[in-house]
A and B are shown apart, each in its own frame.
Chain A
Amino acid sequence: MIGLVIVSHSPQLAEAAVELALEMVHGEAPPMRVAAGVDGRFGTDAAAVATAIDEVAGEPGVLVITDLGSAVLSAGLALELRESSTEVLVSAGPFVEGITAGVVLAATGAPLEDVAREVAGALDAKRDQLEPLPEAPAQASGDPLSADEVLINPEGLHTRPAAMFVQTAGRYDALVDVTNLTTGTGPVTAKSMIGLLSLGAKQGHRIELNGHGPDAASAVSALRGLLADGFGEVPSASAAT
Chain B
Amino acid sequence: MATLEDGSLTVDDLIAWMVRFDEQIVEHAELLTELDSAIGDADHGTNMARGTAAVRLRLEQGRPDDAGAVLKASGMALVSTVGGASGSLYGTLFLEMAKRVGTASELDTADFADALGAGVAGVVARGRAEPGDKTMIDALYPTVEVLTSAAAGGAPLTESLRSAAAAAAAGRDATIPLVARKGRASYLGDRSADHLDPGATSAAILVQALADSQTERDR
Contact = CB atoms under 8 A, between A and B. Distances in A.
B83 A38 contact: yes
A24 interface: no
Contacts of A175: 181
Interface in B6-60: 47, 50
Nearest to B130: A191
- Which of B79, B130, B184 has most A Cβ within 10 Å? B79
Lowest 10 A-B CB distances belong to which pairs? A43-B83, A38-B83, A70-B85, A73-B88, A70-B84, A77-B88, A47-B80, A46-B79, A74-B88, A43-B84
B128 A195 contact: yes
A41 B83 contact: yes
A73 B83 contact: no
Q: A-side binding surface: helix, strand, loop or mixed? A: mixed
Interface of A: 9, 37-39, 41-48, 68-70, 73-74, 76-77, 80-81, 175, 188-189, 191-192, 194-195, 212
Contact of B184 (A46, A69, A73, A194): A69
Contacts of B91: 46, 77
A73 B89 contact: yes
Contacts of B130: 189, 191-192
Interface of B is mostly: helix
A43 to B, nearest CB: 2
Contacts of A37: 83
A73 B81 contact: no
A40 to B, nearest CB: 10
Contact of A76 (B80, B126, B181, B184): B126
A74 B95 CA distance: 13
Interface string B127-160: 1101000000000000000000000000000000
Given A38-B82, A189-B130, A192-B130, A45 B125 contact: no
Contacts of B88: 44, 46, 70, 73-74, 76-77
Given A38-B84, A212-B189, 4 more contacts: A39-B81, A44-B87, A46-B88, A73-B88
